Each structure stands twice: as structure tokens, then as C-alpha cells.
Amino acid sequence: MSLFRRRVFLVALSVSLIAISMTASRTSRAAFTPPEQATDPDPYGLFVDSPQKTVSSGFDFSNLDKSANACQDFNQFATGGWMAHNAIPPAYSVWGRFTQLDEQNLSVLHDILEGLIKKKNLAPGSNEQKIADFYGSCMDEATIEAQGIKPLQPEFDRIAAINDILSLEDEIARLHMHRIPAVFGFGSAQDYKNSKAVIAQVVQGGLGLPDRDYYTKDDAKSKETRDKYAEHVSRMFQLMGDDADKAAAESKTVMNIETKLAETSLTRVQTRQAESRYHPMIKADLLALTPHFDWGRYFRNINLPEVDKVNVAQPDFFKGADKLLTQIPVEDWKTYLRWHLVNSAASTLSSKFVEENFNFNGKYLQGTTEILPRWKRCVASTDRALGEALGQLYVDKTFTPQAKARAQEMVKNLIEALRSDLTTLSWMSEETRKRAIGKLDAFTRKIGFPDKWRSYEALQIGKGAYYNNAVSAGEFEFQRSLGKIGKPVDRTEWGMSPPTVNAYYNPSMNEIVFPAGILQPPFYDPKADDAFNYGGIGAVIGHEMTHGFDDQGAKFDADGNLVKWWTDEDYTKFTARTDCVVHQFDSYEVEPGLHQIGKLVVGESVADLGGLTVAYAAYQKSLQGKPRPKDINGFTPEQRFFLGWAQVWAQNIRPEAARLRTQTDPHPLAKFRVNGPLSNMPAFAQAYGCKPGDPMVRAERCQIW
């Protein structure tokens, strides 16, 4: 569970706090020191030769909209000024504080990469050589344009040679090795019931639209989106050389297959339940479930020895997909595979493919009007392919050992605040309380960057075609995933690269993770006073910690096993409290007829409320025995705490992007992440003098921690 949405292969790794632009990729927060002691502008040594120093000097009160009423709409009051002066750039669907910080990190990475490609005689096989050649091949527009679609031709030839179900299955396996989840996805995952072990896992997949509901809903917008998608698929086939009539027929074939796969897929709300996606099977069970798919042949094709156990995340999907293998003609499947190959590769090909891909996925689905500059796309691509190799250079440039130590101290303080809260919860029994505190004490805390860096020795990257380097990176990652199966879990691994502007909690690892990329302003600012920092990075740390006790995390014990550790009575009470949050967010209207989906966003919303509650308690405790901090610009310390939270979520979003995220993202829209949890907090109402009946004071207050 992470602060923001990020695409993770096969399984959602964890839970996060935010959701940034889909055109880039990162997100989280950080620390505190009394303002009268903050004479050093960088007391913690967080920033070394880094442009992040320019982000802010404490809190910028021009971000406020003082014409708004804090008790009517706190998000508008706290961030309205920022929203008025920060229009969304044409290349973005969302523009917010997360995006701005991500932009700065991209600039740091850009400087690193540009410096590397100018160096001569980089050691062959070194991380620096691989990073430089990968980035350089992406930036080599002349070669990419000259090659057009030629890099895909060997794979097209293999698809053309398919003549029966077995050769079809062979090609599915080959595409999976390239990390193209045609029909379904395959990889490794921790065993939910034995968190020390890694097992094989198969999951539903094979769709080109963002979610199965795009194929199944009958409202006018969904129908329009399907029509636009079909036109996009047809145009891509034409770019591959097919005439208009043939391309239209091929598009219809793709839509038919994907619709059938969607109809047998689980919804996003259903897949949020861990129990619904845990169905371990031995090979005999798997063969009985899908009699038309030769799993032994598939395992050989992906270079995987026979496996003892496979988790089938969605058995009904695989039953349905197995039937489709024989019901749909092989020639139609070949069309489907051609589409998924070019769809996955589009960003690595010549400009006509890049532009068509952007026109649908960027312009239509997200409302952007320009594509990102090539260097930004190439920096992000290099980060995805060699994240820890590039991240190591990023850390050397921006994040000191002192910064890591200070962040670790912050996490420790917030954990103490949550422990205190668990100790005094009136609705939790002693039996459950003891186990909850035990789970909290067992948290693994990962700060800044890994203690052990990932090896890229087996990854082959050269000065050839960008597409080939991208395939090589995909194959490397796929084989790295398969290599874990049957082996003990490596608890030193990270699920995000160090420059990532995000944070996450992983229930199977029972760990909280804060990359260096987010431990910067506006989440943590050494020049701001404690109140802002507790409301910013403090609430983010609290958010990730309380993910361990949200509607999903509460089902995993201290060791990361899916096991019931609550008493029945306590879990019933807990569910009633999370249901309150579900109903609250169901009521938030995004646009006429479209509401937030409470059961989809409940985990993140519970974590927001819990994180703020814990951070506020920690801040109040930090004031004990000290002179009360002075008001700043007329705002009390308590008021500044809540401003610290709101400024993190300052954001403008296009209607198309808001619509897309509402249907697919477990994170609520930013304005609801501000107003939603605060309207449940008596401390907020007291700080701003809000009265019963004000919109920021809920009559039926949700309270968990």
C-alpha cells in the first residue's frame, strides 16, 4: 500500500498514500526541530548539492485562499491560492506538490545521466555503462525513427507462425518473458500463509483498457471510451501496415477477446480482499482447472523448473480463459497477440507509434494536450529499468547518512505515538491489543535507500536499439522474479527505487518504506516549524504505519502471514468503524453521477485518518515541557499542523484524469484526502472554531484510532 498509485507487475506490492501523474512515476515525507533551534538552514544535512533547496522556505502563506471558509472547505482555504497560481502544464494530467517534487528529482537524475553519457571508457559491464547505454539508446531519436517497427519484426514472424493451441501457448510464454502479460500474468509472490516462502503466482490480465469495468459498463461514457479505444487499436494496426478495412476487423477481434476476458475478471474492489486472491494449488489442481493449457510446457518455455505450488489469484478467470483458448480461432488469437506486442512496445518505437499511443492514453483518457519531453520519458524509463543502479548515484548526490539517521528517529517517534494510541483504545480488547502492539514492534523500517543494492550483473544492455534494451530489461526483471520461487524471502529488497516520491507499507513483509525521494520539502522542510513537519511527513509516516491496521493490513500478523489475529468481537467493531469511512467516501461526488467508490478507497482513507490522528498526538507530546510555540502569521501551532497536511495535497487535476482515477485508483482524489479525514477530527474543529453543522464537522464522525 503506497501513498500514490504506481504500476507494479502482477501483484500490488503494498499500499500508499497518494496518486501522482500517470505520465511520470513517484511519492512520501519527513522530520522536526523546534523553530527557535533551527538556526542551520540544513540542520539534518538532508540536501547535498541538490536543487531541492529551492522548493520552499517553510510554509508559503500565499498558498491560502483567505476568501474561503476553513470550516466550509478546508482544502480550498489551505490550497486555493496555490491552485490559482499553478495551472496544469500541457503535458500533465495532474499538477501538484508531488508532481513538482518528482520533477525536481527527474532533473537530478537527468544531470546524472547526461554526465554519464558524456564520459568515455566506462567499464564494460558496470552499472554506469548499462545506465548510460540504456538512456542513450532511448535518446537516440534518429536511430529509433530509422528503424520504425523493424525491431518487432522477429516477434511478428513468430506470431505469424502460430498454427495451433500449443504454438499459441508458446508465444504467450515468450511474451511473458518480455513482461507483456498477454491473457494473464505470471510471476512470484510471498506465500500469504507462509511469509517466509516465495511461490509462483498467476493473475488475471490481458486487457488493453485500464480496468475490466471499461468493457462491462453500459453508461454513455463507457461506451464512448470503448469506441475510442477500438478506433485507436485500428489506427495502430494501420501503422503496422494493414489497410483500413483489415485494421477495423482486427480491432473488432481484439475488442471481442478482451471483452470476454474482462467479463470473467474480478473487479478492483473484489481483488482488494486478500482471501479472494489466495488459492494455492499443486500442478495437478492447476491442470484440472485449465485442461487446455499445458503448464508443464509453459514452465519449460519460461525456463522455470517444475514448481510445487502455484497461487491462482482468480480461479474463475482462469477457468474462463481456458475455455476461450478453444472457443476462439487461433487466427484471432494471433491478431490479439500482435496488438499486445505493439501496444506494450509503442513507447520504444518511432514517433508515429508514440504519438498514436499518446493520443489515446494521454489525450483522451487523461486530458493532456502535449507529450512529455523525450528526456523526461527516457529518465523515467531508465529509472524503471535500472532503478537501484541509478538510485545509488542519486543517493550519493542528494541523501546523507545524517539524513537517514534523522528520518529513522522520526519514524521511531511516530511508532511510539501509535503504540500509545493502541494502548488506550477503548474498543479494543487486551488480547487483540497485545497482538497489535506486537505487530507494531515487529515493523521493519526502511529509510532512504537499501542496505544491500540490487545486482544487475546478469542484465545485458548495449548501444543497440532502444526496444532491444527495453526487452532485455524486461527479461532480466522477469527472470529475477522467477529466481525467487522456492527460496526464502529476501527481506532486504525494496519495491521502489530511491528517487521515488512515494512511500509504502507491505503487509506480507510487515514493513514501512520511505525512499529518499520523498524525504524533502514540502513533506519535510528543515526550515519549517515542527507543526508543519508533523502535519506533513509526520502524517505520511503515520499513514504508512496505520496501513498495518487498515482493512487489508489488519488481516496480516506480525510475521506477514494472512491469519486471523483479532478476536471476533474486536474485528466486528473494527469493521463497523471502517464501514463508516466507506459510507463517507461513497458520498463524495467527483462529477454528476460519479462518486468515489468507498470500498475501493477505504484502505487509503483509513490510513489518512489514522496517520493524522497519530501524527497530531505525536506533535502534542513533543510540546510537553516546552514553551508553547508562537503563532505565525496569525496561525496557532495546531492550525499550522493541519495546514501542513493540506499543503502536501495541493493539486489541480483534469476532469478526464479525475474520472479515470475514481474508477481505478485506491487513493481518493486529493481534495477528499484533505477534507475527508479532517472532518472526522475534533482537534481540527477546535483548532479552526468549526461548529456542528459546518461541512468540515461530520455529524456521524468516523473514528478508528
Whether 24 contacts 513, CB under 8 Å: no
Poorest-confidence range of 202-206, 385-389, 418-422? 418-422
Same domain, 105 and 174: no
pLDDT at 1 over 80: no
Look at residue 109 and tell me if it is in a domain.
yes
pLDDT of residue 513: 96
Separation of alpha carbons 383 and 496, rounded Å: 10
pLDDT of residue 34: 23
Same domain, 266 and 357: no
Identify the CATH number of the domain in which residue 265 sits: 1.10.1380.10
Separation of alpha carbons 544 and 540, rounded Å: 6
Question: What is the SS3 string spanning 435-492?
Answer: HHHHHHHCCEEEEECCCCCCCCCCCCCCCCCHHHHHHHHHHHHHHHHHCCCCCECCCC
Question: pLDDT tens digit string along 258-309?
Answer: 999 999 999 999 999 999 999 999 989 999 999 999 999 999 999 998 888 9
Same domain, 191 and 318: yes
Query: How many structural domains are present in the chain?
Result: 2
Same domain, 144 and 171: no
Same domain, 197 and 118: no
pLDDT of residue 13: 29
Burial 529-545 (b: 16+ CB within 10 A, else e): bbbbbbbbbbbbbbbbb
Look at residue 475 and tell me if it is in a domain.
no
Q: Dihedral, CA atoms, 157, 161, 166, 171, nearest 10 degrees? A: 10
Q: What is the DSSP letter of 362?
A: I
Same domain, 247 and 285: yes
Same domain, 394 and 506: yes
Tell me which residues are annotated as active site. Answer: 544, 608
For 51, the grid coordinates are: 536543487
pLDDT at 410 over 90: no
Separation of alpha carbons 533 and 615, rounded Å: 10
Separation of alpha carbons 71 and 695, rounded Å: 6
- Residues present in the chain in total: 705
Cβ within 8 Å of residue 424, ≥6 positions away: none
Cβ within 8 Å of residue 361, ≥6 positions away: none
Same domain, 681 and 558: yes
pLDDT of residue 534: 92
Residue at a domain's end among 328, 360, 379 = 328
Separation of alpha carbons 24 and 380, rounded Å: 6
pLDDT of residue 3: 67
Cβ within 8 Å of residue 410, ≥6 positions away: 30, 31, 32, 537, 538, 541
Question: pLDDT tens digit string along 467-492?
Answer: 999 999 999 999 999 999 999 999 99
Same domain, 550 and 634: yes
Place of cell 512470484: 188
- Please provide the average confidence, as pLDDT, over all residues in the chain: 90
Same domain, 554 and 624: yes
Question: pLDDT tens digit string along 36-88?
Answer: 222 222 222 222 233 333 333 367 889 999 999 999 999 999 999 999 999 99
Identify the CATH number of the domain in which residue 645 sits: 3.40.390.10
Range of the domain at 519: 1-28+61-148+349-454+493-705
H helices of 346-400, where?
351-358, 365-366, 374-385, 387-398
Residue 453, burial from CB neighbour count under 10 angstroms (0-12, 13-18, 19+): middle
Query: What is the average per-residue pLDDT within 167-178?
Result: 97
Place of cell 517553510: 58
Look at residue 273 and tell me if it is in a domain.
yes
CA 59 to chain centre: 27
Cβ within 8 Å of residue 458, ≥6 positions away: 476, 479, 480
Poorest-confidence range of 94-98, 208-212, 529-533, 653-657? 529-533
Cβ within 8 Å of residue 194, ≥6 positions away: 561
Same domain, 144 and 229: no
Q: Strands of 310-312's sheet, edge to edge?
A: 184-191, 194-204, 310-312, 280-281
Closest CA to 582 of 599, 594, 603, 596: 599
Query: What is the average per-residue pLDDT within 129-153?
Result: 97
Look at residue 472 and tell me if it is in a domain.
no
Look at residue 334 and tell me if it is in a domain.
no
E strands, 226-332, are: 280-281, 310-312
Secondary structure of residue 592 in the 3-state scheme = coil
Whether 51 contacts 398, CB under 8 Å: no
444-448 and 511-515 as β-strands: parallel, antiparallel, unpaired? parallel
Secondary structure of residue 623 in the 3-state scheme = coil
pLDDT at 32 over 90: no
Residue 59 is which amino acid? F
Separation of alpha carbons 96 and 102, rounded Å: 10
Separation of alpha carbons 18 and 403, rounded Å: 23
Residue at a domain's end among 294, 328, 362 = 328
Backbone angles phi, psi at 571, to 5 degrees: -70, -35
Backbone angles phi, psi at 568, to 5 degrees: -60, -40
Closest CA to 518 of 144, 1, 2: 2
Q: Which of 1-10, 57-66, 493-502 has the highest mean pLDDT?
A: 493-502
Look at residue 339 and tell me if it is in a domain.
no
Look at residue 470 and tell me if it is in a domain.
no
Poorest-confidence range of 404-408, 444-448, 670-674, 700-704? 404-408
**Top-confidence residue, 33 or 494:** 494
Same domain, 130 and 188: no
Residue at a domain's end among 328, 362, 393 = 328
Look at residue 564 and tell me if it is in a domain.
yes
**Top-confidence residue, 44 or 366:** 366
